[in-house]
Amino acid sequence: MSKFPETFLWGGAVAANQCEGAYCEDGKGLSVQDVLPHGIRGKRTEEPTEENMKLVGIDFYHRYKEDVRLFAEMGFKVFRISIAWSRIFPRGDENEPNEAGLAFYDDLFDECHKYGIEPLVTISHYETPLYLAEHYNGWTNRKLIGFYENYVRTIFERYKGKVKYWLTFNEINSILHAPFMSGGINTPKEELTEQELYQAAHHELVASALATKIGHEIMPDAKIGCMILSMPTYPLTPSPDDMIQVMEDEHKNYFFGDVHARGVYPGYMKRYFREHEIEIHFESEDEEILKNTVDFISFSYYMSTCATADETKKKQGEGNLLGGVPNPMLKASDWGWQIDPKGLRYVLNMFWDRYQKPLFIVENGLGAADVLIEDENGNKTVEDDYRIQYLHDHLEQVAEAIQDGVDVMGYTSWGCIDVVSASTAELRKRYGYIYVDRNDDGTGTLERYKKKSFYWYKKVIESNGEAL
């Protein structure tokens, strides 16, 4: 008997800005991603420049039919995609939406339903309209709540018969670490105060709760979730001081889940604000709005990290968004992300114990520099046994968590087809079951090829996880 429930939602995930391309077609406005050619570490440019791989992406905008057909062939039950906000509201502050943008997602969702695939839609995935960043300083400005409200009302009304699962903000806690990419905040990170950052986070939290409220009014059957970047933190040593450091580091992430699931600011955060002279400005209605808690908690999981109170060892981990101290017990991917399948079981149990709400793993996977080869029949493919191993080991831990009694709704592995990386903006860092012939120098035919993991995942889904 399979350890996964019959209703388990198997699938894959991508984000509009990392796959669609067509960055200025059919009335789309620019988003923050269009001026970030080097990901989170690099500087933004004034205008979109050709070196930016996201401008073409994998041309999903024109090739989605072929891609959805391939997902269907793997047996996907669900496909996670984001809506590019600036396709619907090119500047972000207009009253009327762009019909061509709305029509594109109508067609995409219809295509998914043709194969019985449920869309799981991220409303805002690191793609705030650039105009909102440049003219309002992104989420530092309370006006963004109103613009987001207009946007969500528009898409909820339009797609209410087509989309049942929604996520309000991708990795909402990352606003503290990547303020421009995550929160459209134009002020350079070095100049931003914690006061401004947490006020921006408050605006997003209110907007998220408002979306949940409006979503339930417009679509009584919809399931609306938050999305947290999860990275379990272990103490570097058994020292109680390291453990307290772990607790404090984790509070910064739990804060976002706690508000979404419980509807109030937690005491530990109020203490942090008091002690750091941060005063969050609440409008009179905010407390009431925040009580609109989510239906489920979704999260990304790629790695764990360590924390220490020892200042001399607090060097940053490489590559990932949250940083942290590397764990001496774990191996890392080629991009320095430490691989820890058991951390996924741990994090599932932690979230479940804390919230008692259904959980959805909406990102997990291995970024690697795949090599396209020709098999004995002359077909192009990738022998990605390392990816199969990674996914197998993580799914085994999901099964363990399910046996622990955790309610897990589904699993959408990240980058089910190769997409442009968020942190480094490379195409070389591939996650897909499907290889896309496109390289970082802009060459490539954009043809799609099935990797070995494509056939493996198909069997996993077919057997509802028994054939791991």
Q: Which of 415, 168, 183 is nearest to 298 (CA)?
A: 168
- Annotated catalytic residue within 118, 171, 196, 400: 171
Say whether 363 is catalytic.
yes
Pairing of strands 359-363, 233-235: unpaired
Closest distance of CB 19 from ligand BG6, Å: 10
Residues 303-322 contacting ligand BG6, CB under 6 A:
321
Q: Who's near 458: CB < 8 A, 6+ residues apart?
A: 73, 74, 75
Nearer to ligand BG6, 123 or 236 (CB): 123
How many Cβ atoms from other residues are within 10 Å of residue 460's Cβ? 23
Segment interacting with ligand BG6 (CB under 6 A) among 371-379, 397-405, 419-427, 435-443: 419-427
Please report whether residue 37 would count as binding ligand BG6 according to CB under 6 A: no
CB of 421 to ligand BG6, least distance (A): 3
171 is an active site residue = yes
Query: What stretch of H or E contains 467?
Result: none
Under the binding rule (CB under 6 A), the answer on residue 300 touching ligand BG6 is yes
- Of 111, 118, 204, 363, which one is the catalytic site residue? 363
Stretch that binds ligand BG6, among 94-102, 346-354, 383-391, 415-423 (CB under 6 A): 415-423
Distance (Å, rounded) from C-alpha 22 to C-alpha 19? 9
User: How far apart, in Å, do the first and last CA atoms of the chain sit?
Assistant: 13
**Interface size with ligand BG6, residues (CB under 6 A):** 15
The rounded Cα 109 to chain-centroid distance in angstroms is 19
Is 225 a binder of ligand BG6 (CB under 6 A)?
Answer: no
In a 3-state reduction of DSSP, which class is residue 118? Answer: strand
The verdict on 31 binding ligand BG6 (CB under 6 A) reads no
Residue 36's region, left for phi above 0, alpha for psi from -120 to 50, else beta, is: beta
Q: Residue 387: what are its φ and ψ, rounded to 5°?
A: -75, -40
Q: Which residue is nearest to ligand BG6 (CB)?
A: 423
- 439-446: which pairs have CB atoms within 8 A and are 24 or more residues apart? 440/53, 442/50, 442/53, 442/56, 446/58, 446/59, 446/63
Closer Cβ to ligand BG6, 33 or 186, answer by number: 33
Given the rule CB under 6 A, which of 4-12, 211-219, 349-357, 417-425 is the region that contacts ligand BG6?
Answer: 417-425
User: Cα separation of 81 and 84, whole Å?
Assistant: 9
For ligand BG6, the binding residue among 138, 367, 432, 465 (CB under 6 A) is 367
CB 127 within 8 A of CB 17: yes
Contacts of 96 (CB under 8 A, 6+ apart): none
Residues in the chain: 468
CB nearer to ligand BG6: pick between 84 and 229 = 229
Q: Residue 422 Cβ, how far from ligand BG6 at the closest point, in Å?
A: 4
Name beta bridge partners: 121: 81, 166
Cβ-based nearer residue to ligand BG6, 141 or 230: 230
Euclidean distance between CA atoms 267 and 87, whole angstroms: 39
**Min separation Cβ 171 and ligand BG6, Å:** 5
- For ligand BG6, the closer of residues 13 and 207 by Cβ is 13
20, 127, 363, 418: residue in contact with ligand BG6 (rule CB under 6 A): 363
| Shortest CB 360 distance to ligand BG6, Å | 14
* Least gap, CB of 18 to ligand BG6 (angstroms): 6
Question: Which 239-278 residues touch ligand BG6, going by CB under 6 A?
Answer: none
Is 11 exposed, middle or buried, given 0-12, 13-18 or 19+ CB atoms closer than 10 A?
buried
421-450 residues near ligand BG6, rule: CB under 6 A? 421-424, 429
Q: Binding ligand BG6 by CB under 6 A: which of 20, 171, 340, 418? A: 171
Catalytic residues, which ones? 171, 363
Which stretches of the chain bind ligand BG6, using CB under 6 A?
A: 15, 18, 170-171, 229, 300, 321, 363, 367, 414, 421-424, 429
